[in-house]
Amino acid sequence: MPEERIARNIALHIAAGDGNITKCETLLNDDEDGTNGADAWWEDESHLRWNALHFAVSGGHSDIVKLLLRRGGIWNAIDELGFTPADYAWSLNNDEIYWILFEEGVRQTLVLNLLDRKALAQSASRDPGANGATAKDGEGEKGVQVGENGESSTLKLQVTESSGEVSAQNDRFLESRLTFVKDGEGKMRCMDKDGGLVMAAWETDVMQKTATLLCTDQQTGQPITGLKILNVGFGLGIVDEFFQQYKPSKHVIVEAHPDAIAFARQNGWHEKPGVELIHAKWEDALDQLANGELFDVIYWDTYAQGYGELRDFFEEVPYLLDESNPNARFSFFHGLAGTNRFLYDIYTRVSELDLREMGLDTQWYDIRPSTTSETWNGILRKYWDLDVLRIPISKRIQDVE
Ligand SMILES: C[S@@+](CC[C@H](N)C(=O)[O-])C[C@H]1O[C@@H](n2cnc3c(N)ncnc32)[C@H](O)[C@@H]1O
C-alpha cells in the first residue's frame, strides 16, 4: 500500500480514537481531486493489528463505531491478541457499543448464511452429483466455525489451518480412524486421527443437564418416562446413558462413524431397552426417521460439521417432532465459537432466530462446565474456553386461539 494511503489510514485511527467524527467522515470520503478515502477495514501491523473500530471502541465513541460499520469497518476483526472490537467494549463495560456490534454481527451472519445457502442451492442445481451441502472448507472441529485466529469462517471465506485436518470435512472425518482412550485422569475420550477431541468427559455435566431439561415435566419437575427419543451423534454415548435413565419407549441413535458404531456395540448399546442403533449419516437417515413414529425428544451433537449443517438439521426438526405432543423438545450442543465470547453470543442469537423461522421457540439454560488443564492435555486444539455454556431447549410455537 502506498505511503500516503497508510498515512491517511493512520490519521483515521487517530481521529476514531479521539472521537472526532467530522475528521473521520472527511478522511473516509474521497477527496475532490479524486484521492481515495481511507480504508475503514485497514489493520495497523505496528499497533496490535488494530483497525479503526478497535480505536473507536477504546475511546468509547459509539457514533464513530456506527459510522465505521456503515463504511466497511469489519465487526469481527481480530487483533494480534485475539480480540475483536466487541471484546474491548465488553472489558470496558461499554454495553452500548457491545450491543451495536452485536446487532451488526447478527445481521451480517444471517445475511451471509442466507447467501451461503443460495450459493449451495445453485451449485447443487448446476451439478446435482456434487456433495455441495456438506463439502465445505475451513470449518473447524465440533461445530466451531472459528478459524485459528478466531475469525468466523462463515463470515470470511478463507481456508484456515484446520482445513487440512479431518475435522474440516465431515466425509473425510467419517473415513478416518477414531481412537477411544483414557486421559490422564482415567476418563474416556474419543479422538480423531489428528488428535482433535471428538468427545470427552468434561461434557458429562452438560449432557446430564440437557437430558434433564429434555425429559422432565417443566411444571412439576417430575421425570417423564416412556418418551420417544432421537439422538444424533453417539460419541461416547454419554447423553444416551442419561436418556436411558428415563426408560424411553423408543430410543433411536443415529451415528455415522463405523468406529463409534463399533464402540457402541462393544458396550452393548444395540441390546439396550428400546434402542435402535442406526449406522448412517443423519442426512441419509432422514426419510427413514420421518416415516416412522415421531419423537418427543430430539438431540443433535455431531462432529466435523458447522453451523450450516446444524441449520440444515433445524429445518428437519419440525417434521421429526411429534405434533401431537405440545411439549416435544429439541436441543443441540451449543459449542459454536466456543473460544470467543462475543462470537458465541452472536451464534446464540442467530440460532435462536433461525429456529424461530422453523416455528420453534427457544429458551436458554446456563451451565458452568468445569474443565481442567488435563482436559486439553495431548489434544490438538481447545474448542471450549468460556465460563458459561448455553443449553437450548426449543419447542413448537403454540398457536394462540
Ligand atoms: C461429539 S460426539 C457426540 C457425543 C455425544 N453427545 C455423547 O454424549 O457422547 C459426535 C458424534 O457425531 C458423529 N457424527 C459426525 N458426523 C455425523 C453425521 N453426519 N451423522 C451422524 N453422526 C455423525 C461422530 O462420529 C461422533 O460420534
pLDDT in tens, 23-34: 999 999 999 998
Residue from 142, 243, 277, 301 to probe ligand 1 pocket by mutation (most atoms less than 8 Å from CB): 301
User: Which residue lies with its CA nearest to atom 14 of ligand 1?
Assistant: 302
CA atoms within 13 A on the CB side of 244: 15
Is residue 109 a part of any domain in this protein?
Answer: no
Is residue 148 a part of any domain in this protein?
Answer: no
Distance 322 CA to ligand 1 centre (A): 23
- 122 pLDDT higher than 70: no
Q: Which of 100, 129, 158 is the last residue of a domain?
A: 100
- 127 pLDDT higher than 70: no
- Do the Cβ atoms of 260 and 192 come closer than 8 Å? no
- Look at residue 290 in the predicted model and tell me its pLDDT: 83
Are 89 and 204 found together in one domain? no
**Residue 243, phi then psi, degrees to nearest 5:** -60, -40
Are 86 and 215 found together in one domain? no
Is residue 177 a part of any domain in this protein?
Answer: no
Residue from 144, 199, 383 to probe ligand 1 pocket by mutation (most atoms less than 8 Å from CB): 199
pLDDT bracket for residue 401 (50, 70, 90): low
Are 203 and 344 found together in one domain? yes
Is residue 154 a part of any domain in this protein?
Answer: no
Is residue 192 a part of any domain in this protein?
Answer: no
Query: Helix or strand or coil: residue 182?
Result: strand
- Do the Cβ atoms of 234 and 240 come closer than 8 Å? yes
pLDDT bracket for residue 182 (50, 70, 90): very high
- Look at residue 136 in the predicted model and tell me its pLDDT: 25
- Look at residue 140 in the predicted model and tell me its pLDDT: 39
Q: Which of 41, 69, 100 is the last residue of a domain?
A: 100
Residues 156, 148: Cα–Cα separation, whole Å: 12
CA-nearest of 390, 16, 64 to 210 is 390
* Of 330 and 145, more confident: 330
Are 218 and 90 found together in one domain? no
- Look at residue 353 in the predicted model and tell me its pLDDT: 93
Distances (CA, A) of 297 to 133, 225, 226, 286, 330: 26, 12, 11, 15, 6
Is residue 121 a part of any domain in this protein?
Answer: no
Residue from 302, 309, 313, 391 to probe ligand 1 pocket by mutation (most atoms less than 8 Å from CB): 302
pLDDT bracket for residue 374 (50, 70, 90): confident
pLDDT, mean over the chain: 88
Distance 341 CA to ligand 1 centre (A): 24
Pseudo-torsion of CA 289, 292, 298, 302, nearest 10°? -20
Residues 174, 26: Cα–Cα separation, whole Å: 54
Are 94 and 212 found together in one domain? no
CA-nearest of 14, 24, 390 to 206 is 390
Is residue 118 a part of any domain in this protein?
Answer: no
Residue from 136, 257, 299, 389 to probe ligand 1 pocket by mutation (most atoms less than 8 Å from CB): 257
pLDDT bracket for residue 126 (50, 70, 90): very low
Are 347 and 235 found together in one domain? yes
Distance 257 CA to ligand 1 centre (A): 8
Are 93 and 235 found together in one domain? no
- Helices 307-320 and 282-290, axial angle in degrees (round to 10): 10
Is residue 287 a part of any domain in this protein?
Answer: yes
Domain region containing 21 = 3-100
Distance 385 CA to ligand 1 centre (A): 21
Query: Helix or strand or coil: residue 3?
Result: helix
CA atoms within 13 A on the CB side of 74: 17
- 180 pLDDT higher than 60: yes
Q: What is the mean pLDDT of residues 4-8?
A: 95
The CATH number assigned to the domain holding 362 equals 3.40.50.150
pLDDT bracket for residue 161 (50, 70, 90): very low
- Look at residue 162 in the predicted model and tell me its pLDDT: 59
Q: Which of 42, 71, 100 is the last residue of a domain?
A: 100
Are 91 and 232 found together in one domain? no
Question: Which residues does ligand 1 sit against, CB inside 6 Å?
Answer: 170, 198-199, 207, 232-239, 254-257, 260, 281-283, 301-305
- The pLDDT tens digits of the residues spanning 296-354 come to 999 999 999 999 999 999 999 999 999 999 999 999 999 999 988 899 999 999 999 99
pLDDT bracket for residue 163 (50, 70, 90): low
Distance 301 CA to ligand 1 centre (A): 6
Distance 228 CA to ligand 1 centre (A): 19
Query: Helix or strand or coil: residue 199?
Result: strand
Q: What is the mean pLDDT of residues 111-128?
A: 55
- The pLDDT tens digits of the residues spanning 250-293 come to 999 999 999 999 999 999 999 999 999 999 999 999 999 988 88
Q: What is the mean pLDDT of residues 361-390?
A: 93
The CATH number assigned to the domain holding 27 equals 1.25.40.20
- 358 pLDDT higher than 60: yes
pLDDT bracket for residue 117 (50, 70, 90): low
Instruction: State the total domains in the chain.
Output: 2
